[in-house]
Amino acid sequence: MRDRLLKRVLSGAICGFIATAMAGTGHHAWVDTWSAVPDTAGPVVNAQTVRQIVRVSVGGSQVRIRLSNLFGNVPITLGPVHIALHASGADTVPGSDHVLLFNGKPTVTIAKGESVLSDPVKMDVKPLQELAVSLYAPPDAPYHASTTHNVGQATAYLTESGDATAATHFPQGETSGARFFLTDVEVSGPAATATVVAFGDSITDGVGSTQDANMRWPDDLAERLQADPKLSSIGVANAGIAGNHILHDGMGPSALSRFDRDALDKPGVRWIVLLEGINDIGGSGYAWAAKDKISAQQLIDGMKTLIARAHARHVKIYGATLTPYGGSGWPYHSVAGEKTREEVNEWIRHGGAFDGVVDFDQVIRDSSAPQKMLPAYDSGDHLHPNSAGYKAMAQAVDLKWFGTP
């Protein structure tokens, strides 16, 4: 474990040196401008095209994507893969389509548990622009599980059959609320210099926000950064997983096990905003065995581990207080769980371990009933904010943290 950590630290230092050297020679480093991290094995996609709509944060003059087979049961072949400007619905802007290659080839075979980057393609990508990524899964994969991000908060379009990756008008077929295979969109160019990763659970994933509207709090943060000329070169990568835990695997791998892949290894990462722990607390309410009951100190120790790993890679990490969840239902919400949340929040605010703190709890709680969200910010389940709540959270993030990248 110690050797593996040392290798990661050295790798991060080398990457930082290379990025600095490239900047000095007129080359541009890559920045993660959009992300939906993998969390589960999904349905088979066989002889079908999947078209997925993504809104980037920062723009660039070159683009590439990452495809993942993390949860696949066997190697999988994908391709052709195209990227274009999004028009509306499942359609693309005529004349904007680009073919993506992998080592110069239109298809790629991804080993079980691995991921691949496409070759870069020249494409003028504007900040906050919507792109359509279309990929074809050939008919030789009848038993291949897909790797998905389960809660996309966006519509994916699938053909009944056939390769429609180059189609301007996408044929009518199926739809899904998940993301398939696509985990990252990266850009390079003079306008893109660094990435902030929003790392967390469903509240970072945007559950409760308006579907297909890009109204998660990291989306709102990206808009704030783009509105400030001094910060408009910063991309935002969303590394939230609905149902995720810090300490134990649940919906997706635990934060402790996925932190490197989903945060520290993102290209251009300089800052992380951590909002996670409410599922550890809520899950304890269902646990029968004492060993599965999570204490405040266990959560604090887990956060300290993440902080140490970020700092070892010279990445700043900011802590967000856990938002109120009173009324979300017993046993997920309980007197004991509320006590744990308050203890953890007190440590986040005053423990001095994070590089800074954003008090999301204070922003969206009802001052007359602090265990609950303000009704105006409640999506209705008393756990997840609505779009207005997410906007208020993004407004509370201190942009001074990001300075001049």
Each residue's pLDDT expressed in tens, for the chain with a length of 405 residues = 434 443 443 444 444 433 433 433 346 899 999 999 999 999 999 999 999 999 999 999 999 999 999 999 999 999 999 999 999 999 999 999 999 999 999 999 999 999 999 999 999 999 999 999 999 999 875 668 899 999 999 999 999 999 999 999 999 999 999 999 999 999 999 989 999 999 999 999 999 999 999 999 999 999 999 999 999 999 999 999 999 999 999 899 999 999 999 999 999 999 999 999 999 999 988 766 766 789 999 999 999 999 999 999 999 999 999 999 999 999 999 999 999 999 999 999 999 999 999 999 999 999 999 999 999 999 999 999 999 999 999 999 999 999 865
Query: Is the separation of the CB atoms in 97 and 166 below 8 Å?
Result: yes
The whole-angstrom separation of Cα 69 and Cα 38 is 9
The whole-angstrom separation of Cα 381 and Cα 384 is 6
The whole-angstrom separation of Cα 264 and Cα 312 is 10
pLDDT at 288: 65
Helix, strand and coil in the chain, % to nearest 5:
30, 30, 40
pLDDT at 27: 61
Q: What is the CATH number of domain 193-401?
A: 3.40.50.1110
pLDDT at 284: 87
The whole-angstrom separation of Cα 319 and Cα 299 is 13
CA atoms in the 13 A half-sphere facing the CB of 8: 20
Q: How far is CA 238 from the centre of its chain?
A: 3
Q: How far is CA 36 from the centre of its chain?
A: 4
The whole-angstrom separation of Cα 69 and Cα 79 is 14
The whole-angstrom separation of Cα 221 and Cα 390 is 10
The owner of tokens 């110069």 is: 104
Helix crossing, 296-312 with 335-350: angle to 10°? 30
CA trace torsion 99, 100, 106, 109 (10° rounding): -150
Domain ranges of the chain: 40-184, 193-401
The whole-angstrom separation of Cα 51 and Cα 46 is 14
pLDDT at 140: 73
Partnered with residue 175 across adjacent β-strands are 157
The owner of tokens 């134990």 is: 248
CA trace torsion 258, 119, 113, 251 (10° rounding): 40
pLDDT at 166: 98
The owner of tokens 């070892």 is: 312
Handedness of CA 88, 136, 172, 175 (dihedral sign): negative
In single-letter form, the type of residue at position 81 comes to V
